[in-house]
Amino acid sequence: MLLLMLLLMPTLAHAQDQTQNQPQDQSDDAAIELLEALDVSSYADKGAAIEAIVTSDDSRAREWLQELLDGRLQRTDDGRFVVVLENRGRDWPVADALTGEALGEISRRNLERIGINNALRNQLRSAIAVVDLYSPDLERRRASAERLLGEVDADLAEPLVSVIEGEEDDQVRERLVQALAIHRIELGELDALSQLEGSLHPRVRVALNRAASGDDPVLADAARSALAGIEQQLKINRGLETLYFGLSLGSVLVLAAIGLAITFGVMGVINMAHGELIMLGAYTTWAMQQLLPGQPGLALILSIPAGFLVAALAGIAIERGVIQFLKGRPLETLLATFGVSLILQQLVRTVISPLNRTVVSPEWMSGSLHINDALSLTLNRMFVLGFALVVFAGLMLIMRRTRLGLEVRAVTQNRAMARSMGIRATRVDIMTFALGSGVAGLAGVALSQLTNVGPNLGQNYIIDSFMVVVFGGVGNLWGTLVAGLSLGVINQVLEPWAGAVLAKIIVLVFIILFIQKRPRGLFPQKGRAAEG
């Protein structure tokens, strides 16, 4: 019967393209007979009724099958077939199964569900997959071909060859070829293995594992050889995935540390409130989404300048209110900025909430980029990585191509000489602190797309930020970039076997040992001040 179903699918596919406003090939009486055949106690008779629906040329057949599989095709006390639109509460909204007309709400006690068992569920999935192979919708055909992996039987095998020959999409054709090859391997055909070699799909590996443990020694040896090659490819893909996640983590560290590197390099200030500036940028993103509900993409774009401005203004307030009075006293500056960080955390808890807030990612940042069956790259991390590189490039332009950058480099290398040349070091300190704080705000905007926003958000990154700055070289942007990305990858490599806490301890010990050999980091700062 499945063979007949597949042969008649082009007729059904043509019927599927018709809209509901066009005349149906089946009368309502005939459609009711098809549905009534489902409402019987015998599961064997229900299976026959499902096949009758599939082989009918009714354009509603696919929807009926899906609704039956989902448990939404039900019958009222008066014998009318309806589709449950939502099954919450006592009264459920329903629609007519024949016309699609909304019928309002009906008490769930007045509805009788058409029951199915696991065998019928498998039959329904196969039938829907077969129907969808002829759909003009490419995504539906791809999903259908995916479902057929491991589900092809003797009835489907022969006619599936003609479907493969007529299919234009490479992805659909590849999946159907693999589905057919899995069936042929189950029959003991050795040459079918060549069509599965190199495939990373889990169902293909399941089929090869079964063949490897089978009774045929030749087929088992060939299957084990194919699995060995696949396992090697899986290791490569897992390595690439680890590298990707390490780079994305490293990009976050770069964003979090690059502002700190600027202020630390110019002013020699250990700003323990830097993490709270990151937090302010993240909360700015959340606030923008509250101002623009339903528009997460626009809110995120506007959050970039807003987050920079909010954090920069907060940085200026910290510099003018605290740091300028403690210059040359690093220990007191550290304690004072630590106090500021506690004040900012408590302020957020009091004004907003101590609970975490969720920032909605826009649609274009959701999902993942599918590379192959074993490797997918999440888009939100990809955008954060790209954003970090753009921010880094922007800072490099500022430092290399603007007057502010020239003055910052002069003050960094020799503050006394810069003053004697007419550079207002106090103004440079303010602008530098504002720039570094603003970049911290941008880090918060990026972090809001990866994690929940809360009062303690910045505390998770402040220690790592200092490690990146010290490891890369104080005040050196290139050092911050290399150190941030390197530490991100190292952490990601160590975590699977050492655990998150032990991985951080190992990284810390490594940095301590590294600093013993190179006290000024990977890229030491140049100038008399650095030498002193």
Look up residue 376 and give its DSSP letter: E
**Mean pLDDT to the nearest integer, 285-300:** 91
| CB contact at 8 A, 301 and 361 | no
| CB contact at 8 A, 407 and 418 | yes
pLDDT digits (tens, 9 = 90+) for 164-204: 888 888 888 999 999 989 988 988 888 888 888 888 899 99
pLDDT band at 285 (very low <50, low <70, confident <90, very high): very high
- Whether the pLDDT of residue 280 is over 90: the answer is yes
Residue 54 lies in a domain: no
| Angle, vertex CA 288, rays to CA 284 and CA 294, nearest 5 | 145
Q: Which two tokens stand for residue 58?
A: 């009714």
Residue 463 lies in a domain: yes
Q: Which two tokens stand for residue 99?
A: 């016309």
- Whether the pLDDT of residue 10 is over 60: the answer is no
Per-position b or e across 196-213, b if 16+ CB within 10 A of its CB: beebebebbbebbeebbe
Residue 403 lies in a domain: yes
Strands (E), 380-466: none
d(Cα 345, Cα 280) in Å, to the nearest integer? 10
pLDDT band at 27 (very low <50, low <70, confident <90, very high): low
Structure confidence at residue 523 (pLDDT): 73
Q: Which two tokens stand for residue 484?
A: 């941030």
Residue 168 lies in a domain: no
DSSP 109-159: GGEEE----HHHHHHHHHHHHHHHTT-S-HHHHHHHHHHTTTT--HHHHHH
Q: What number of other Cβ atoms are within 10 A of residue 137's Cβ?
A: 11
The amino acid present at 99, given as its one-letter code, is T
pLDDT digits (tens, 9 = 90+) for 42-74: 888 888 888 888 777 677 888 888 899 988 999
| CB contact at 8 A, 484 and 254 | yes
Strand, coil or helix: 218: helix
Residue 430 lies in a domain: yes
How do the residues of the chain divide into helix, strand and coil, expressed in percent and rounded to 5?
70, 5, 25
pLDDT digits (tens, 9 = 90+) for 467-493: 888 888 776 788 889 989 998 898 888
Lowest model confidence (mean pLDDT) among 39-43, 318-322, 349-353, 426-430: 426-430
Residue 314 lies in a domain: yes
Q: What number of other Cβ atoms are within 10 A of residue 109's Cβ?
A: 9
Integer Rg of the chain from CA: 32
d(Cα 63, Cα 49) in Å, to the nearest integer? 15
User: How do beta strands 73-76 and 111-113 pair?
Assistant: antiparallel
DSSP 2-71: HHHHHHTHHHHHHHHTS-TTSPPSS-HHHHHHHHHTTSSS-HHHHHHHHHHHHHS--TTHHHHHHHHHHT
**Total number of domains constituting the chain:** 1
Structure confidence at residue 300 (pLDDT): 93
Structure confidence at residue 384 (pLDDT): 92
**Mean pLDDT to the nearest integer, 372-397:** 91
The amino acid present at 122, given as its one-letter code, is N
- Whether the pLDDT of residue 13 is over 50: the answer is no
d(Cα 279, Cα 276) in Å, to the nearest integer? 5
Residue 230 lies in a domain: no
Please state at what angle helix 217-267 crosses helix 403-413, rounded to 10 degrees: 80
Share of the chain above pLDDT 70, in %: 92
Classify the C-alpha dihedral 518-521-526-530 as positive or negative.
negative
- CA dist 20 → 32, 74, 118, 124 (Å): 16, 21, 31, 23
d(Cα 209, Cα 203) in Å, to the nearest integer? 10
pLDDT digits (tens, 9 = 90+) for 403-412: 888 887 787 7
d(Cα 283, Cα 60) in Å, to the nearest integer? 49
Structure confidence at residue 526 (pLDDT): 57
- CA dist 253 → 249, 433, 436 (Å): 6, 19, 14
Structure confidence at residue 26 (pLDDT): 52
| CB contact at 8 A, 26 and 58 | yes
Residue 304 lies in a domain: yes
pLDDT digits (tens, 9 = 90+) for 412-431: 777 778 888 888 878 888 88
Can you list the alpha helix ranges (DSSP code H) found in 371-402? 379-401
Name the pTM for this structure: 0.74
pLDDT digits (tens, 9 = 90+) for 114-165: 889 888 888 887 778 777 787 788 888 888 888 888 878 776 777 778 788 8
Strands across the sheet containing 81-84: 102-107, 91-96, 81-84, 73-76, 111-113
What's 520's domain CATH number? 1.10.3470
Domain span at 519: 236-359+381-526
d(Cα 532, Cα 529) in Å, to the nearest integer? 5
114 phi and psi angles, rounded to 5 deg: -85, 110
pLDDT digits (tens, 9 = 90+) for 200-248: 899 999 999 998 888 888 999 999 999 999 999 999 999 999 999 999 9
- Whether the pLDDT of residue 312 is over 50: the answer is yes
pLDDT band at 525 (very low <50, low <70, confident <90, very high): low
